[in-house]
Amino acid sequence: MSQPVFLVGPMGAGKTTIGKQLAQQLGYPFKDSDREIEDRTGADIPWIFDVEGEAGFRQREVVVLADLATQGQLVIATGGGIVMREENRDCLKQSGIVFYLTASTEQLLERTAKDKRRPLLQVADPESRIRELLAIRDPLYAEVATYIINTEKRPPRQVAQEMADLVRNHK
């Protein structure tokens, strides 16, 4: 099985955290599209949003996803908005196994509260913003998903274990 494994879902779903554990358990290299964009740009995500706007960030995301998707056996954690572009959804569906990681709005809010590096959540009412984004994106995450995994009430390592078993048994 040489196809990549993608993790999609909202900010705070645990794509980066669980993705690293999954990669370790499968023995695959790990990549994070957000980190890859930052490395290639030489700047962090808040800077890219400030200077190039969300549209500039999304353009970079398309290029990085297309590139990572052709690198074979990797675990790839994606950014929360990756499904906003149709070409990304097509790429995800055609390229590998896709896990949609879910959690309640309350959990997403709690998990993202301290970290100020998510420009879309730097608003007066982040809870409403999370709900708005989910209303738009949930059907898009579901559209690309091979498996939908709830990440609540279990530590990341245990979630990753379930996912690793699904990958190993995937035909």
Ligand X SMILES: Nc1ncnc2c1ncn2[C@@H]1O[C@H](COP(=O)(O)OP(=O)(O)OP(=O)(O)O)[C@@H](O)[C@H]1O
Ligand Y SMILES: O=C(O)C1=C[C@@H](O)[C@@H](O)[C@H](O)C1
Plot region of 19 (φ>0 → left; ψ -120 to 50 → alpha; else → beta): alpha
> What residues numbered 51-90 form the site for ligand X, per CB under 6 A?
77, 79-80
In this structure, the strands spanning 5-8 and 97-102 are parallel
- Residue 38 is inside which H or E element, if any? helix 33-41
Residue 17: contacted member of ligand Y, Mg ion, ligand X, none (CB under 5 to 8 Å, by partner type): ligand X
> Which residues 6+ apart lie within 8 Å of 42 measured at CB?
none
Q: Is the CB of 20 or the CB of 85 nearer to Mg ion?
A: 20
Q: Give the whole-angstrom CA distance, residue 89 versus residue 58.
A: 13
Q: If binding is defined by CB under 6 A, does position 56 make contact with ligand Y?
A: no
Report yes or no: 15 and 7 within 8 Å, Cβ to Cβ: yes
Instruction: Mark the segment that binds ligand X (CB under 6 A) among 54-62, 65-73, 139-147, 149-157.
Output: 149-157
Q: Give the whole-angstrom CA distance, residue 82 versus residue 4.
A: 16
Instruction: Please tell me whether 14 is known to bind a ligand.
Output: yes
Instruction: Mark the segment that binds Mg ion (CB under 5 A) among 12-20, 41-49, 94-102, 143-151.
Output: 12-20
Instruction: Please tell me whether 12 is known to bind a ligand.
Output: yes
Q: How far is the CB of 82 from ligand Y (least distance, A)?
A: 7
Binding residues vs ligand X (CB under 6 A): 9, 11-18, 34, 77, 79-80, 111, 118, 151, 154-156, 159
Binding residues vs Mg ion (CB under 5 A): 15-16
Residues annotated within a binding site for ATP: 12-17, 118, 154
